[in-house]
Structure 1
Protein backbone atom coordinates (compact mmCIF):
# COMPACT_ATOMS: atom_id res chain seq x y z
CA UNK A 1 0.00 0.00 0.00
CA UNK A 2 1.48 3.41 -0.96
CA UNK A 3 2.31 5.97 1.72
CA UNK A 4 -0.62 8.33 2.45
CA UNK A 5 0.39 11.93 3.01
CA UNK A 6 -1.77 14.11 5.30
CA UNK A 7 -2.12 16.72 2.52
CA UNK A 8 -3.25 16.75 -1.08
CA UNK A 9 -0.46 15.56 -3.38
CA UNK A 10 -2.22 16.56 -6.60
CA UNK A 11 0.13 18.53 -8.85
CA UNK A 12 3.24 17.81 -6.77
CA UNK A 13 6.16 15.50 -7.52
CA UNK A 14 7.03 12.62 -5.18
CA UNK A 15 10.31 14.43 -4.35
CA UNK A 16 8.44 17.54 -3.22
CA UNK A 17 5.90 15.50 -1.23
CA UNK A 18 8.74 13.68 0.55
CA UNK A 19 10.56 16.94 1.30
CA UNK A 20 7.52 18.85 2.54
CA UNK A 21 6.47 15.88 4.69
CA UNK A 22 9.94 15.99 6.31
CA UNK A 23 9.57 19.75 6.88
CA UNK A 24 6.08 19.38 8.36
CA UNK A 25 7.32 16.64 10.66
CA UNK A 26 10.19 18.79 11.91
CA UNK A 27 8.01 21.89 12.28
CA UNK A 28 5.34 20.05 14.29
CA UNK A 29 2.92 20.39 11.39
CA UNK A 30 1.80 16.78 11.60
CA UNK A 31 0.30 17.30 15.06
CA UNK A 32 -3.45 17.86 15.38
CA UNK A 33 -2.89 21.58 16.06
CA UNK A 34 -0.51 21.95 13.08
CA UNK A 35 2.31 22.74 15.47
CA UNK A 36 0.79 26.11 16.34
CA UNK A 37 3.05 28.22 18.56
CA UNK A 38 3.29 31.86 19.48
CA UNK A 39 6.61 32.02 21.33
CA UNK A 40 7.50 35.65 22.13
CA UNK A 41 11.21 34.71 22.11
CA UNK A 42 11.01 33.29 18.57
CA UNK A 43 11.80 35.99 15.99
CA UNK A 44 9.38 34.28 13.58
CA UNK A 45 6.46 35.04 15.85
CA UNK A 46 3.18 33.18 15.51
CA UNK A 47 3.78 29.95 13.57
CA UNK A 48 1.71 27.01 12.29
CA UNK A 49 2.90 24.16 10.02
CA UNK A 50 6.26 25.95 10.19
CA UNK A 51 4.80 28.99 8.40
CA UNK A 52 5.61 32.12 10.39
CA UNK A 53 3.73 35.39 10.62
CA UNK A 54 7.00 37.28 10.22
CA UNK A 55 7.60 35.70 6.82
CA UNK A 56 3.95 35.77 5.68
CA UNK A 57 2.28 38.88 7.08
CA UNK A 58 -0.84 38.45 4.93
CA UNK A 59 -1.56 34.91 6.15
CA UNK A 60 -3.93 34.32 9.05
CA UNK A 61 -1.68 31.84 10.83
CA UNK A 62 -4.29 30.70 13.34
CA UNK A 63 -6.68 29.50 10.59
CA UNK A 64 -4.02 28.21 8.16
CA UNK A 65 -4.74 24.68 6.94
CA UNK A 66 -2.20 22.07 5.87
CA UNK A 67 -2.95 22.26 2.14
CA UNK A 68 -2.44 26.03 2.07
CA UNK A 69 0.78 25.60 4.05
CA UNK A 70 1.99 23.02 1.49
CA UNK A 71 1.22 25.48 -1.35
CA UNK A 72 3.26 28.14 0.47
CA UNK A 73 6.16 25.70 0.81
CA UNK A 74 5.95 24.77 -2.86
CA UNK A 75 5.89 28.34 -4.19
CA UNK A 76 8.10 30.15 -1.70
CA UNK A 77 10.70 27.49 -0.94
CA UNK A 78 10.70 24.51 -3.35
CA UNK A 79 10.39 26.52 -6.56
CA UNK A 80 12.17 29.63 -5.27
CA UNK A 81 15.26 27.62 -4.24
CA UNK A 82 15.21 25.53 -7.46
CA UNK A 83 14.86 22.29 -5.51
CA UNK A 84 12.98 20.73 -8.43
CA UNK A 85 16.19 20.80 -10.50
CA UNK A 86 18.22 18.54 -8.24
CA UNK A 87 18.50 14.90 -7.16
CA UNK A 88 16.13 13.92 -4.35
CA UNK A 89 18.66 14.04 -1.52
CA UNK A 90 20.14 17.39 -2.65
CA UNK A 91 16.62 18.75 -3.21
CA UNK A 92 15.65 17.72 0.32
CA UNK A 93 18.66 19.53 1.80
CA UNK A 94 18.02 22.58 -0.39
CA UNK A 95 14.35 22.70 0.63
CA UNK A 96 15.12 22.44 4.34
CA UNK A 97 17.78 25.10 4.01
CA UNK A 98 15.37 27.42 2.19
CA UNK A 99 12.78 26.94 4.94
CA UNK A 100 15.31 27.56 7.71
CA UNK A 101 17.33 30.39 6.12
CA UNK A 102 15.42 31.68 3.07
CA UNK A 103 15.63 30.67 -0.59
CA UNK A 104 18.42 33.10 -1.51
CA UNK A 105 20.61 31.97 1.38
CA UNK A 106 19.94 28.31 0.47
CA UNK A 107 21.11 29.02 -3.08
CA UNK A 108 24.22 30.80 -1.79
CA UNK A 109 25.07 27.91 0.53
CA UNK A 110 24.67 25.41 -2.32
CA UNK A 111 26.85 27.61 -4.54
CA UNK A 112 29.59 27.76 -1.89
CA UNK A 113 29.52 23.97 -1.56
CA UNK A 114 29.55 23.44 -5.33
CA UNK A 115 32.44 25.89 -5.74
CA UNK A 116 30.68 28.60 -7.75
CA UNK A 117 30.17 32.31 -7.12
CA UNK A 118 27.79 32.64 -4.16
CA UNK A 119 25.53 35.34 -5.59
CA UNK A 120 22.15 33.75 -4.83
CA UNK A 121 21.27 33.46 -8.52
CA UNK A 122 20.72 30.02 -10.03
CA UNK A 123 22.59 30.32 -13.30
CA UNK A 124 24.19 27.83 -15.68
CA UNK A 125 27.50 27.70 -13.78
CA UNK A 126 25.74 26.72 -10.56
CA UNK A 127 23.57 24.16 -12.32
CA UNK A 128 26.59 22.61 -14.07
CA UNK A 129 28.60 22.49 -10.83
CA UNK A 130 25.76 20.92 -8.82
CA UNK A 131 24.83 18.38 -11.50
CA UNK A 132 28.51 17.54 -12.00
CA UNK A 133 29.08 16.84 -8.31
CA UNK A 134 28.46 13.62 -6.45
CA UNK A 135 25.11 14.05 -4.67
CA UNK A 136 26.27 12.28 -1.51
CA UNK A 137 29.32 14.54 -1.32
CA UNK A 138 27.11 17.64 -1.73
CA UNK A 139 24.78 16.47 1.03
CA UNK A 140 27.69 15.79 3.40
CA UNK A 141 29.19 19.20 2.72
CA UNK A 142 25.80 20.86 3.00
CA UNK A 143 25.34 19.54 6.53
CA UNK A 144 28.73 20.89 7.59
CA UNK A 145 28.06 24.24 5.94
CA UNK A 146 24.70 24.55 7.66
CA UNK A 147 26.29 23.82 11.05
CA UNK A 148 28.71 26.70 10.45
CA UNK A 149 25.80 28.91 9.43
CA UNK A 150 24.08 28.18 12.75
CA UNK A 151 27.28 29.14 14.56
CA UNK A 152 27.22 32.51 12.80
CA UNK A 153 23.60 33.04 13.85
CA UNK A 154 24.63 32.48 17.48
CA UNK A 155 27.67 34.73 17.15
CA UNK A 156 25.41 37.54 15.96
CA UNK A 157 22.49 36.86 18.31
CA UNK A 158 23.36 34.92 21.45
CA UNK A 159 19.70 34.79 22.55
CA UNK A 160 19.13 32.15 19.83
CA UNK A 161 21.33 29.68 21.76
CA UNK A 162 18.18 28.07 23.14
CA UNK A 163 17.52 26.62 19.65
CA UNK A 164 20.97 25.14 18.89
CA UNK A 165 20.20 21.59 20.07
CA UNK A 166 17.04 21.49 17.98
CA UNK A 167 18.87 22.87 14.94
CA UNK A 168 21.59 20.23 15.19
CA UNK A 169 19.07 17.44 15.83
CA UNK A 170 17.25 18.59 12.70
CA UNK A 171 20.50 18.46 10.71
CA UNK A 172 21.15 14.92 11.94
CA UNK A 173 17.63 13.83 10.97
CA UNK A 174 17.95 15.63 7.63
CA UNK A 175 21.21 13.85 6.87
CA UNK A 176 19.64 10.49 7.74
CA UNK A 177 16.68 11.22 5.45
CA UNK A 178 19.01 12.34 2.64
CA UNK A 179 21.10 9.16 2.95
CA UNK A 180 17.92 7.07 2.81
CA UNK A 181 17.06 8.75 -0.50
CA UNK A 182 20.55 8.02 -1.81
CA UNK A 183 20.27 4.30 -0.95
Structure 2
Protein backbone atom coordinates (compact mmCIF):
# COMPACT_ATOMS: atom_id res chain seq x y z
CA UNK A 1 0.00 0.00 0.00
CA UNK A 2 1.49 3.38 -0.95
CA UNK A 3 2.16 6.02 1.70
CA UNK A 4 -0.49 8.75 2.04
CA UNK A 5 0.11 12.05 0.27
CA UNK A 6 1.13 15.00 2.44
CA UNK A 7 -2.25 16.71 2.10
CA UNK A 8 -3.98 13.79 3.86
CA UNK A 9 -2.20 14.65 7.13
CA UNK A 10 -3.23 17.32 9.65
CA UNK A 11 -2.16 20.90 9.07
CA UNK A 12 0.14 20.74 12.12
CA UNK A 13 1.91 17.62 10.86
CA UNK A 14 2.23 19.04 7.33
CA UNK A 15 3.93 22.12 8.76
CA UNK A 16 6.16 20.07 11.07
CA UNK A 17 7.25 17.56 8.44
CA UNK A 18 7.92 20.38 5.95
CA UNK A 19 10.26 21.93 8.53
CA UNK A 20 12.04 18.62 9.17
CA UNK A 21 12.36 17.71 5.49
CA UNK A 22 13.80 21.15 4.69
CA UNK A 23 16.37 20.79 7.49
CA UNK A 24 17.26 17.19 6.75
CA UNK A 25 17.66 17.62 3.00
CA UNK A 26 18.20 14.78 0.57
CA UNK A 27 20.58 11.88 0.33
CA UNK A 28 23.85 12.02 2.29
CA UNK A 29 26.41 9.56 3.55
CA UNK A 30 28.64 11.60 5.88
CA UNK A 31 31.55 9.66 7.43
CA UNK A 32 30.95 11.26 10.87
CA UNK A 33 27.21 10.53 10.94
CA UNK A 34 26.57 7.46 13.12
CA UNK A 35 23.28 6.95 11.25
CA UNK A 36 25.21 6.15 8.09
CA UNK A 37 23.41 6.46 4.78
CA UNK A 38 20.56 8.97 5.20
CA UNK A 39 17.84 10.41 2.98
CA UNK A 40 15.33 13.06 4.13
CA UNK A 41 16.74 12.41 7.61
CA UNK A 42 15.76 8.73 7.53
CA UNK A 43 18.86 6.71 8.35
CA UNK A 44 19.92 3.21 7.39
CA UNK A 45 20.74 2.53 11.04
CA UNK A 46 17.16 3.30 12.11
CA UNK A 47 15.56 1.70 9.04
CA UNK A 48 17.83 -1.14 7.88
CA UNK A 49 15.15 -2.57 5.57
CA UNK A 50 14.37 0.69 3.75
CA UNK A 51 15.95 1.48 0.39
CA UNK A 52 17.49 4.72 1.65
CA UNK A 53 19.02 5.77 -1.67
CA UNK A 54 15.61 5.60 -3.39
CA UNK A 55 13.44 6.78 -0.49
CA UNK A 56 10.73 9.21 -1.57
CA UNK A 57 9.66 12.30 0.33
CA UNK A 58 6.19 10.76 0.60
CA UNK A 59 7.59 7.60 2.20
CA UNK A 60 9.76 9.65 4.56
CA UNK A 61 6.70 11.66 5.65
CA UNK A 62 4.80 8.42 6.27
CA UNK A 63 7.63 7.08 8.47
CA UNK A 64 7.90 10.38 10.34
CA UNK A 65 4.16 10.41 11.02
CA UNK A 66 3.93 6.78 12.10
CA UNK A 67 7.16 6.46 14.07
CA UNK A 68 7.81 9.96 15.44
CA UNK A 69 4.78 12.31 15.33
CA UNK A 70 2.35 9.80 16.78
CA UNK A 71 4.91 8.19 19.10
CA UNK A 72 5.52 11.46 20.97
CA UNK A 73 1.83 12.35 20.76
CA UNK A 74 2.53 15.59 18.93
CA UNK A 75 -1.05 15.48 17.64
CA UNK A 76 -2.15 16.04 21.28
CA UNK A 77 0.37 18.73 22.24
CA UNK A 78 -0.09 22.50 21.84
CA UNK A 79 0.83 23.50 18.29
CA UNK A 80 4.21 25.17 18.85
CA UNK A 81 5.55 22.61 21.29
CA UNK A 82 4.25 19.80 19.05
CA UNK A 83 6.71 20.90 16.37
CA UNK A 84 9.57 21.22 18.87
CA UNK A 85 9.00 17.77 20.37
CA UNK A 86 8.54 16.16 16.94
CA UNK A 87 11.81 17.69 15.71
CA UNK A 88 13.45 16.52 18.95
CA UNK A 89 12.19 12.99 18.30
CA UNK A 90 13.63 13.06 14.78
CA UNK A 91 17.01 14.26 16.06
CA UNK A 92 17.31 12.36 19.35
CA UNK A 93 14.74 9.56 19.27
CA UNK A 94 11.25 9.47 20.72
CA UNK A 95 12.21 8.45 24.26
CA UNK A 96 14.83 11.20 24.58
CA UNK A 97 12.44 13.81 23.12
CA UNK A 98 9.80 12.78 25.66
CA UNK A 99 12.32 12.81 28.52
CA UNK A 100 13.49 16.31 27.59
CA UNK A 101 9.90 17.57 27.62
CA UNK A 102 9.25 15.95 30.99
CA UNK A 103 12.44 17.43 32.46
CA UNK A 104 11.46 20.92 31.32
CA UNK A 105 7.93 20.50 32.69
CA UNK A 106 9.14 19.09 36.01
CA UNK A 107 7.06 15.96 35.34
CA UNK A 108 8.00 12.38 36.10
CA UNK A 109 10.79 11.51 33.65
CA UNK A 110 9.99 8.13 32.14
CA UNK A 111 10.28 8.84 28.41
CA UNK A 112 6.59 8.17 27.80
CA UNK A 113 4.25 11.05 27.04
CA UNK A 114 1.10 10.11 28.90
CA UNK A 115 -1.89 11.99 30.29
CA UNK A 116 0.07 13.79 33.03
CA UNK A 117 2.77 15.04 30.64
CA UNK A 118 0.11 16.13 28.14
CA UNK A 119 -1.80 18.01 30.84
CA UNK A 120 1.35 19.74 32.09
CA UNK A 121 2.27 20.75 28.52
CA UNK A 122 -1.22 22.14 27.88
CA UNK A 123 -1.15 24.13 31.12
CA UNK A 124 2.33 25.60 30.55
CA UNK A 125 2.94 28.90 28.81
CA UNK A 126 3.72 27.70 25.29
CA UNK A 127 6.37 30.32 24.48
CA UNK A 128 8.17 29.59 27.75
CA UNK A 129 7.93 25.85 27.13
CA UNK A 130 9.30 26.15 23.59
CA UNK A 131 12.22 28.30 24.76
CA UNK A 132 13.08 25.95 27.61
CA UNK A 133 12.76 22.85 25.44
CA UNK A 134 15.03 24.28 22.75
CA UNK A 135 17.57 25.35 25.39
CA UNK A 136 17.48 21.83 26.84
CA UNK A 137 18.19 20.40 23.38
CA UNK A 138 21.13 22.80 22.95
CA UNK A 139 22.64 21.42 26.15
CA UNK A 140 22.15 17.89 24.83
CA UNK A 141 23.95 18.77 21.59
CA UNK A 142 26.86 20.20 23.59
CA UNK A 143 27.09 16.95 25.58
CA UNK A 144 27.00 14.88 22.38
CA UNK A 145 29.91 16.87 20.99
CA UNK A 146 31.84 16.64 24.27
CA UNK A 147 31.45 12.83 24.30
CA UNK A 148 32.34 12.45 20.63
CA UNK A 149 34.55 15.23 19.23
CA UNK A 150 33.97 13.92 15.67
CA UNK A 151 30.44 15.31 16.02
CA UNK A 152 31.83 18.86 16.21
CA UNK A 153 31.44 19.09 12.44
CA UNK A 154 27.65 19.21 12.99
CA UNK A 155 27.40 21.62 15.96
CA UNK A 156 26.89 24.85 14.04
CA UNK A 157 24.20 23.24 11.89
CA UNK A 158 22.50 21.87 15.01
CA UNK A 159 22.42 25.30 16.63
CA UNK A 160 21.18 26.92 13.40
CA UNK A 161 18.42 24.33 13.32
CA UNK A 162 17.42 25.18 16.89
CA UNK A 163 17.31 28.90 16.02
CA UNK A 164 15.07 28.22 13.02
CA UNK A 165 12.99 25.76 15.03
CA UNK A 166 12.33 28.36 17.73
CA UNK A 167 11.12 30.84 15.11
CA UNK A 168 8.93 28.22 13.42
CA UNK A 169 7.41 27.09 16.74
CA UNK A 170 6.61 30.63 17.83
CA UNK A 171 5.12 31.44 14.42
CA UNK A 172 2.70 28.49 14.47
CA UNK A 173 2.01 29.02 18.17
CA UNK A 174 1.21 32.68 17.60
CA UNK A 175 -1.07 31.84 14.68
CA UNK A 176 -2.91 29.24 16.79
CA UNK A 177 -3.38 31.61 19.73
CA UNK A 178 -4.38 34.59 17.64
CA UNK A 179 -7.07 32.55 15.90
CA UNK A 180 -5.66 33.25 12.44
CA UNK A 181 -5.08 29.56 11.78
CA UNK A 182 -7.92 27.43 10.53
CA UNK A 183 -8.93 24.60 12.85
TM-score, normalising length from structure 2? 0.90
1:13 maps to 10
Match of 2:145 among 135, 141, 154: 154
Match of 1:133 among 124, 135, 147: 124
* Separation (CA, whole Å) in 1 of partners of 2:142 and 2:103: 17
SS of match in other structure, 2:45: coil
Structure with a larger share of its residues in helix: 2
* Separation (CA, whole Å) in 1 of partners of 2:61 and 2:87: 13
Match of 1:179 among 157, 170, 183: 170
Q: Unaligned stretches of 5+ in structure 2? A: 175-183
Instruction: Using the TM superposition, give the Cα deviation of residue 10 of structure 1 relative to its aligned residue in structure 2, in angstroms.
Output: 4.1
Instruction: Using the TM superposition, give the Cα deviation of residue 8 of structure 1 relative to its aligned residue in structure 2, in angstroms.
Output: 2.1
In the TM superposition, what whole-angstrom CA distance separates every residue of 1:26-78 from its partner, at most 9, and x where no partner exists? 011xxxxxx11111221111111111101110101011111111100001110
Instruction: Using the TM superposition, give the Cα deviation of residue 152 of structure 1 relative to its aligned residue in structure 2, in angstroms.
Output: 1.1
Alignment coverage as a number of residue pairs: 171
CA contact (8 A) 2:105 2:121 kept: yes
CA RMSD of aligned residues (A): 1.2
* Separation (CA, whole Å) in 2 of partners of 1:99 and 1:121: 16
2:85 maps to 94
1:23 paired to 2:20: yes
Q: Unaligned stretches of 5+ in structure 1? A: 1-6, 29-34
Structure of higher RCO (CA pairs closer than 8 Å, 6+ residues apart): 2
Moved over 3 A (4+): none
1:48 paired to 2:39: yes
1:164 paired to 2:161: no
2:101 maps to 110
